[in-house]
Amino acid sequence: MKPQKLSTLIILGFSLLLPILATAASKVEIDTNIEVALEKFYAESAAGKRLAERSKGMLVFPRVVKAGIGIGGEYGEGALMINGSAVDYYNTAGASIGFQLGAQVKSQIILFMTDDALDTFRSSDGWEAGVDGSVAVVEFGAGGEISSNSAQQPIIGFIFSNKGLMYNLTFEGSKMTKIER
């Protein structure tokens, strides 16, 4: 596909998200939504909570909206939490092309388990999952337990509260960029 056509398709994908982008959340709204998302996450998995407590940093996007009709886009706002406090605010955005129809709302948490992984993320000017760091996406097992292999990775991701008609459990192609709040 020619670069000009690809950029046009990406622009069209993001145009689906313009209503969401126009209502960017305030710092207080993001913080409140993070509290609610973390309560739900901790209730779903005690193992996830234990991992979060051991992490060096936790990037929380409480509400990521994805929509698409052939061309799709997603957007959400959240914060990097260190020692229980928001230290920086970020957005996550992505575009996709292919067979897709529908919309979904999901929450995403990325745990940085090592100082090196956290430092690499914080020093980047727009961090892209799958390019700048591989995210081990965790699926909950019986009783909310997590496989020991997933728990050993330097970057661990959780996607939960999937609501909607589109299904996509991946971080690949999502770009996280620091924002001012």
How do residues 81-102 score in pLDDT, each as one tens digit? 999 999 999 999 988 777 767 7
Tokens representing 13 are 């994908």
- Do residues 91 and 75 touch, judged by C-beta distance below 8 A? yes
| 15 has a pLDDT exceeding 80 | no
Per-residue 3-state assignment (H helix, E strand, C coil) for the chain: CCHHHHHHHHHHHHHCCHHHHCCCCCHHHHHHHHHHHHHHHHHHCHHHHHHHHHCCEEEEEEEEEEEEEEEEEEEEEEEEEECCEEEEEEEEEEEEEEEEEEEEEEEEEEEECCHHHHHHHHHCCCEEECCCECCEECCCCHHHCCCHHHHCCCEEEEEEEEEECCCCCCCCCCEEEEECC
- The mean of the pLDDT values for the chain is 79
Q: What's the pLDDT score for residue 125?
A: 84
Pairing of strands 136-137, 155-164: parallel
Pairing of strands 155-164, 175-179: unpaired
| 73 has a pLDDT exceeding 60 | yes
> Which pLDDT band holds residue 160 (cuts at 50, 70, 90)?
confident
User: Which residues have C-beta within 8 Å of that of residue 122, sequence separation ≥ 6?
Assistant: 57, 80, 88
> Which pLDDT band holds residue 148 (cuts at 50, 70, 90)?
low
Q: What's the pLDDT score for residue 34?
A: 97
Residues 95-147 pLDDT 10s: 877 776 778 888 999 999 999 999 999 998 887 765 555 677 776 555 555 65
Q: What's the pLDDT score for residue 17?
A: 47
Tokens representing 126 are 């727009």
* Phi, psi for residue 91 in degrees, rounded to 5: -120, 160
Cα–Cα distance between 24 and 4 in angstroms, integer? 29
Looking at the chain, the whole-number percentage of residues with pLDDT higher than 70 is: 69
Sign of CA dihedral 117, 119, 122, 125: negative
Residues 20-71 pLDDT 10s: 444 568 999 999 999 999 999 998 888 889 999 999 999 999 999 988 787 8
